[in-house]
């Protein structure tokens, strides 16, 4: 595991489109799948990372708390499934079913979408407004697996709530910290390492 911070993609960046298989249904998910929702949260997660395991219940709670709101959520895993079989689509499907996630969980086999978002770690969070411009990128909250702080989702929730209310999102944003995305050999992006 390489402790990695998010790249902090420039605010205002347009959401990169994607067409990825959803691990539970097999359907192809794209930005157009969320055209009806005002705000979009894209999160890069996986199953094996201790940083993601630490916040899985809060991810579940986010999905439940915003289910009837105008927030769409898409989870994407881009880890090399050959070297990390816990992050393979069938394992991700089992996790999504176990946790009762109602949002799509997609698998980025080529890792092209992770690169398009400059995703660097798991977890890595990106919030886009109604124009699908980036208004937040960074951490869920200050909690980490070993720091004893409670998992609240405070930073991410504040950004989502502001975007839903057409209010400005604070530009004081802290990078997410987690395991590096497990790039396939030779596929590492220039911003890795």
Tens-place pLDDT, residues 41-75 = 999 999 999 999 999 999 999 999 999 999 999 99
Give 1's pLDDT tier (boundaries 50, 70, 90): low
List the structure tokens of 109.
């086999």
List the structure tokens of 77.
């895993």
Residue that has been written with the tokens 């999905």 in this structure: 63
Count of H helices and E strands in the chain?
4, 10
Distance of CA 168 to the CA centre of its chain: 21
CA distance 193 to 189: 9
Give 2's pLDDT tier (boundaries 50, 70, 90): low
List the structure tokens of 48.
């094996």
Tens-place pLDDT, residues 109-167 = 999 999 999 999 999 999 999 999 999 999 999 999 989 999 999 999 999 999 999 99
pTM above 0.85, yes or no: yes
Q: Which residues contact 170 (CB under 8 A, 6 or more apart)?
A: 158, 159, 162
Q: Other C-beta atoms within 10 Å of 130: how many?
A: 14
């Amino acid at each position: 595991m390489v402790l990695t911070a998010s790249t902090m993609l420039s605010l205002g960046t347009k959401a990169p489109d994607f067409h990825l298989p959803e691990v539970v249904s097999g359907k192809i998910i794209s930005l157009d799948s969320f055209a009806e929702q005002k705000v979009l949260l894209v999160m890069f997660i996986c199953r094996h990372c201790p940083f993601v395991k630490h916040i899985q219940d809060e991810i579940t709670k986010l999905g439940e708390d915003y289910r009837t709101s105008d927030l769409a959520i898409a989870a994407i895993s881009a880890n090399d499934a050959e070297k990390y079989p816990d992050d393979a689509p069938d394992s991700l499907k089992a996790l999504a079913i176990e946790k009762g996630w109602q949002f799509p969980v997609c698998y980025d086999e080529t890792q092209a979408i992770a690169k398009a978002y400059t995703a660097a770690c798991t977890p890595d969070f990106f919030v886009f407004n109604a124009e699908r411009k980036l208004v937040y990128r960074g951490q869920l909250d200050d909690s980490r697996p070993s720091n004893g702080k409670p998992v609240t989702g405070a930073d991410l929730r504040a950004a989502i709530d502001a975007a839903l209310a057409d209010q400005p999102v604070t530009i004081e944003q802290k990078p997410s910290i987690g395991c590096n995305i497990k790039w396939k050999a030779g596929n590492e992006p220039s911003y890795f390492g």
